Chains A and B, each alone.
Chain A
């Protein structure tokens, strides 16, 4: 073992780095903010504001010329801190006083203790079956209409009207249910009643889906296409509505039956403090209930999505993708967006029918992922990655783009045809109610990669291992108005159910074990921290490419002028001679051609490259 000498190591550490590109300095200077000297409240410098606020007489004050951080800064921050501390004390004191008053039953308005008031409340709290809010102008689907018609039957005041709305079957639901003070425990018990036996979640695992949620026998993406709100067949629509009605009817029947008092109810009244804490957590239970109802409704959609539909649904192939591009799908109804790609085909699905075959694609974004795969080839299971950015300003603040990608190994080498790698983006409908798939592809990991970590496709083949493939997809989401800036959008899942390798040479077996662990990997996806303007150029270019492609296919995600403007911006910011600059130039040409054509252009003849020689 030879350790490098100290001087040798220091010399290696001081290896010369490349000079910065000359245009970088100009960009940095151009990016000096106009309000460089403006007060910045977020840094607590509103009085000082950094360098030199100049007074009306034109002389920079000596006060402003001294270092900013110093005694004055401490003095500056002490005022707000004291105010916040005082406010907290007032709030805590008021809360304590209110608690004491409620415990003694002598509230300021002379109200009775909470348990009594709750029992007199004519409106039960567990009837929230309304669908999640959708964007303005989004017409309710038949399924939602059905839910809205059935939902009132659990309310005593509306019971006759509800019965007439849903017909004879729900007549018995007109009987007013016993009014209870539902606790979270009741809500959970009720949820278990709502769920079918096969769907009843185990304790502690209530929010998780099982890997079998999506039928693995057919391409799940095609299945979901069949039930999308825009392309749904009439038969599927009717079946979904019927399934929804049946589910809600079961719900109403159960709510009409007298419920046995639960343990919580039996204990009600014994301790007002316990009742109060239970009531305070009703909001939590209700939110959980809503979440479960959504889950059950999604499950009912899957129930209605019978195998015949799945079998007859078209596969996500190149000709099929041409007519699906610009419609948004409802995340609450479909619950899952699934991209299923047969990795062994290794076809560039998107380029084959995009009509923008010369445009850049999502591949540059995944270069880092290639490297991740190279460095993590010995890790178990597939590698998943996701990146989220806010949309371009022209597209509106509610647009979010999610790029997801996964590295998997080739499937089917041992004749296991029909086994699929699946990449899923599972959205939270409350945060991202609608979405659409902009681009997707499956391609082999670059075989020109250094084999130091053991991984380009060719290197892996030489080592007797299956090559790696990358599945990538770019989604456009509509974020809900009320969604927080750092809300969780959902999760990315990659399913990798792999057969045992047919051959089992030692090297191959080791690598196959390492990379074909099977099961699934899950990665949370969050709303963006990065704004569009600070997003790296490759992703901006990919989004613009997808928007132009959408426009050419008849969509209206952005105007051609806005796209051209953004392309020009990317081209200005890109380093001269870089791949981004070249891609932006190609895209600019295509956008100009589209603008000249005016009307949606015919898709160009596919010129996509085929699979790589080793793929």
Chain B
């Protein structure tokens, strides 16, 4: 076997081994050099965060798993467009977020004709979101304007640092913090109104 074939035919390591020994940036560099195993390691490093954020967004474990798979499929297709401006996980989170929005907006999906996207409220609540308050909170978050919604979901649900969100959005950290403050204020008001 020539050395030229080695990267593409290298076995992909099973998750759980070796991934945490390398950082995300290092793995991305390896991936760029053609190290196929780095893709598996990146998955292991990032998929819990992607899955959890999607669970929080859609409230359904099965749907979140489907969307996670779709996220990575799209990521591999768009891998060449990753420019290293932000962290790989932040870029991946943006794809997951878009995948979720496509999921709820897709015309072939269940669509309530009555205007409001009723499909935003999913069927099976997970344990974490079983409480009515959590359900309402999720609905209010998803009803935020797009800029605020992305900031809130990325920061609180995706555990993406403010600095990374700013890089991804091409804004300053201060702007993202302002958005978070505005979003929290809106959510407080909305939750207070619903409580009344």
Enumerate chain A interface residues (CB-CB to B < 8 A).
1-6, 9-10, 12-21, 24-34, 36-37, 40, 43, 45, 48-58, 60, 64-65, 67-70, 367-372, 374-376, 379-381, 383-389, 405, 450, 452, 521, 523-524, 526, 528-530, 534, 536-537, 575, 578, 580
Those of B136-194 within 8 Å (CB) of chain A: 137, 141, 152, 156-157, 184, 187-189, 191-193
Q: Tell me which of B72, B80, B83 contacts A49 (CB under 8 A).
A: B80
Known contacts A6-B188, A20-B68, A29-B43: does B33 contact A530 (CB below 8 Å)?
no
Q: Whole-angstrom distance from the CB of B168 to the nearest CB of chain A?
A: 14
B107 and A526 within 8 A (CB):
yes
A26 and B14 within 8 A (CB):
yes
Bound-complex Cα distance A45 to B32 (A):
14
Known contacts A10-B184, A13-B152, A385-B111: does B191 contact A450 (CB below 8 Å)?
no
Bound-complex Cα distance A32 to B4 (A):
20
Interface centre among A32, A34, A367, A384 (most CB of B within 10 A): A32
Known contacts A18-B55, A43-B78, A523-B113: does B34 contact A13 (CB below 8 Å)?
no
Bound-complex Cα distance A50 to B40 (A):
16
A17 and B81 within 8 A (CB):
no
A60 and B33 within 8 A (CB):
yes
B107 and A17 within 8 A (CB):
no
Bound-complex Cα distance A33 to B72 (A):
10
Bound-complex Cα distance A32 to B31 (A):
12
Bound-complex Cα distance A399 to B6 (A):
40
Known contacts A3-B192, A9-B191: does B79 contact A54 (CB below 8 Å)?
no
A37 and B8 within 8 A (CB):
yes
CB-defined contacts of A53 to chain B, threshold 8 Å:
34
Those of B69-95 within 8 Å (CB) of chain A: 69-70, 72-73, 76-85
Those of B99-113 within 8 Å (CB) of chain A: 106-113
Those of B9-54 within 8 Å (CB) of chain A: 12, 14-16, 29, 31-36, 39-40, 43-44, 47-48, 51-53
Bound-complex Cα distance A456 to B129 (A):
19
Closest to A407 in B: B112
B188 and A52 within 8 A (CB):
no
CB-defined contacts of B29 to chain A, threshold 8 Å:
65
Bound-complex Cα distance A24 to B107 (A):
27
Q: Tell me which of B14, B47, B56, B191 contacts A24 (CB under 8 A).
A: B47
Closest to B129 in A: A15
Q: Whole-angstrom distance from the CB of A580 to the nearest CB of chain B?
A: 7
Q: Whole-angstrom distance from the CB of A446 to the nearest CB of chain B?
A: 9
The range of chain B's interface size is 35 or more
26 A-B contact pairs sorted by A residue (CB < 8 Å): A2-B195, A9-B191, A15-B128, A17-B51, A17-B157, A18-B61, A24-B47, A25-B16, A25-B44, A28-B69, A31-B73, A36-B36, A43-B77, A43-B81, A45-B81, A50-B79, A54-B7, A55-B4, A67-B84, A69-B84, A368-B122, A372-B112, A375-B112, A388-B108, A529-B106, A575-B65
B4 and A13 within 8 A (CB):
no
Bound-complex Cα distance A523 to B114 (A):
11
Q: Tell me which of B7, B12, B14, B118 contacts A376 (CB under 8 A).
A: B118
Known contacts A48-B80, A528-B108, A536-B66: does B7 contact A1 (CB below 8 Å)?
no
CB-defined contacts of A526 to chain B, threshold 8 Å:
107-108
Q: Tell me which of B7, B52, B65, B124 contacts A52 (CB under 8 A).
A: B7
Q: Whole-angstrom distance from the CB of B156 to the nearest CB of chain A?
A: 4
CB-defined contacts of B14 to chain A, threshold 8 Å:
26, 29
Closest to B5 in A: A54
Q: Whole-angstrom distance from the CB of B151 to the nearest CB of chain A?
A: 12
Q: Tell me which of B2, B39, B56 contacts A17 (CB under 8 A).
A: B56
Known contacts A25-B44, A368-B122: does B184 contact A1 (CB below 8 Å)?
no
Q: Is the interface of A mostly helix, strand, loop or mixed?
A: loop
Q: Whole-angstrom distance from the CB of B54 to the nearest CB of chain A?
A: 9
Closest to A17 in B: B52
**Residue B126 at the chain A interface, CB threshold 8 Å:** yes
Bound-complex Cα distance A405 to B196 (A):
35
B15 and A56 within 8 A (CB):
no
CB-defined contacts of B73 to chain A, threshold 8 Å:
31, 33, 534
CB-defined contacts of B39 to chain A, threshold 8 Å:
29, 32, 36
Give the top 6 A-B pairs by smallest Cβ distance, nearest first: A52-B34, A69-B83, A58-B3, A3-B192, A379-B114, A20-B51
Bound-complex Cα distance A384 to B81 (A):
39
Q: Whole-angstrom distance from the CB of B40 to the nearest CB of chain A?
A: 5
A6 and B69 within 8 A (CB):
no
Interface centre among A20, A34, A526 (most CB of B within 10 A): A20
Bound-complex Cα distance A609 to B111 (A):
29
Q: Whole-angstrom distance from the CB of B138 to the nearest CB of chain A?
A: 9
Q: Tell me which of B4, B15, B129, B133 contacts A58 (CB under 8 A).
A: B4
Closest to A367 in B: B123
Bound-complex Cα distance A578 to B43 (A):
23
Q: Tell me which of B110, B128, B195, B196 contacts A368 (CB under 8 A).
A: B110
Closest to A492 in B: B113
Q: Whole-angstrom distance from the CB of A493 to the nearest CB of chain B?
A: 11
A376 and B108 within 8 A (CB):
no
Q: Whole-angstrom distance from the CB of A43 to the nearest CB of chain B?
A: 5
Interface centre among B12, B121, B127 (most CB of A within 10 A): B121
Bound-complex Cα distance A604 to B39 (A):
49
Q: Whole-angstrom distance from the CB of A477 to the nearest CB of chain B?
A: 14
A12 and B137 within 8 A (CB):
yes
Bound-complex Cα distance A45 to B44 (A):
26
A4 and B65 within 8 A (CB):
no
A1 and B118 within 8 A (CB):
no
A12 and B55 within 8 A (CB):
no
Q: Tell me which of A69, A367, A384 contacts B124 (CB under 8 A).
A: A367
Bound-complex Cα distance A380 to B112 (A):
11
CB-defined contacts of B36 to chain A, threshold 8 Å:
32, 36-37
Bound-complex Cα distance A37 to B33 (A):
10
Bound-complex Cα distance A578 to B35 (A):
35
Bound-complex Cα distance A4 to B84 (A):
39
Q: Whole-angstrom distance from the CB of B22 to the nearest CB of chain A?
A: 15
CB-defined contacts of A376 to chain B, threshold 8 Å:
112, 114, 116, 118
CB-defined contacts of A54 to chain B, threshold 8 Å:
3-4, 7, 34
Q: Tell me which of A17, A28, A57 contacts B68 (CB under 8 A).
A: A28
A530 and B108 within 8 A (CB):
yes
CB-defined contacts of A575 to chain B, threshold 8 Å:
61-62, 65
Bound-complex Cα distance A371 to B123 (A):
6
CB-defined contacts of B114 to chain A, threshold 8 Å:
376, 379-381, 383
A10 and B156 within 8 A (CB):
yes
Q: Tell me which of B80, B122, B133 contacts A50 (CB under 8 A).
A: B80
Closest to A39 in B: B80
Known contacts A54-B3, A55-B4: does B121 contact A371 (CB below 8 Å)?
yes
Q: Whole-angstrom distance from the CB of B145 to the nearest CB of chain A?
A: 17
Q: Whole-angstrom distance from the CB of A122 to the nearest CB of chain B?
A: 46
A1 and B195 within 8 A (CB):
yes
Closest to A70 in B: B83
Q: Tell me which of B35, B55, B122 contacts A371 (CB under 8 A).
A: B122
Bound-complex Cα distance A367 to B62 (A):
13
Q: Tell me which of A20, A372, A379, A386 contacts B108 (CB under 8 A).
A: A386
Q: Tell me which of A21, A45, A524, A529 contacts B65 (CB under 8 A).
A: A21
CB-defined contacts of B69 to chain A, threshold 8 Å:
24, 27-28, 31
Known contacts A4-B191, A384-B113: does B31 contact A51 (CB below 8 Å)?
yes
